[in-house]
Structure 1
Amino acid sequence: MPRIGPGRPRVRPDRVRADKAYASRKNRAYLRRRGIRCTIPDKADQARNRQKLGSRGGRRISTRPTTASATRSSVGSTASRDTTP
């Protein structure tokens, strides 16, 4: 980095360009924490997984009940609502 005026030369760059090998979350977080902007292309599989999640944003939505009592209560309520002989 060139020196701006007198004194010690700057060490921290304004922006970093890197290849796909440095596209990890830790590397990006480190640069963000130090206030360094980065230009790193995404890996194809990571971009595909992010698009696949869509608006869910990484949250896992389970369709299965979490406990046995939830299963029993849902079955019981279905049976009690059934009015056919």
Structure 2
Amino acid sequence: MDLRAIGLGRLHRKPDQVAADKAYGPRGFRAYLRKRDIAHANPEKTDQRRHRHNRSRRDSRPPGCDREIYRRRNMIERCFNRLKGFRGIATRYGKTATSHEAAVTLASFLLWSRSV
């Protein structure tokens, strides 16, 4: 994380890299990240790839996508989806942050014990 002071006030944080799914693949979003010097690991949609190939040769360079980072993002997203299978976590029955954290910890342990 890059911490920068912009004028007076608190420090603003800027992520080193963004790993998002295919919904965040449009050129506008990538241009936004490039303008702020943030790397991205967003795969390109298949229809956008087809449109890019149908355009001229000079516009046909594919945007970069680090597949290893994207795989790790997918693994974490699947873990969150498994945690949502526990009703108390999905609906957040725990009123306080500590009780909700305890429920997430217990559910994580149960998921881990099933996998071993």
SS in 1 for 2:14: coil
- Of 30, 34, 37, 2:36 maps to 34
Gaps of 5+ in 2: 4-9, 61-116
AA at the equivalent of 1:12 = K
Query: TM-score scaled by structure 2?
Result: 0.38
Q: Which ranges in structure 1 are unaligned for 5 or more consecutive residues? A: 59-85
Distance (Å, rounded) in 1 between the aligned partners of 2:49 and 2:29:
17
- State the alpha-carbon separation in 1 of the partners of residues 34 and 40 from structure 2: 8
1:18 aligns with 2:20: yes
Q: CA 1:14–1:49 in 2, change beyond 3 Å: closer, same or farther?
A: same
- 1:55-84 CA distance string (max 9 Å, x none): 1538xxxxxxxxxxxxxxxxxxxxxxxxxx
Distance 1:25 1:57 in 2: 12
Which gives a bigger RCO, structure 1 or 2 (Cα 8 Å, sep 6+)? 1
Q: Percent identity?
A: 47
TM-superposed deviation, 1:53 = 2.2
Displacement after TM superposition at 1:9 (Å)? 7.5
1:55 equivalent in alignment to 2:57: yes
Say if 1:12 and 1:53 are closer, same or farther in 2 by CA, change over 3 A: same
Superposed CA offset, 1:26-65 (max 9, x none)? 211111111100010000001011112241538xxxxxxx
**Cross-structure match for 2:90:** none
> RMSD of aligned C-alpha atoms?
2.6
Higher helix share: 2
- SS where residue 40 of structure 1 aligns? coil
TM-score (norm: length of structure 1): 0.51
1:44 is aligned to 46
Structure index of larger Rg: 1
Kindly report structure 1 stretches of 4+ aligned residues shifted beyond 3 Å.
none
- Paired letter, 1:16: V
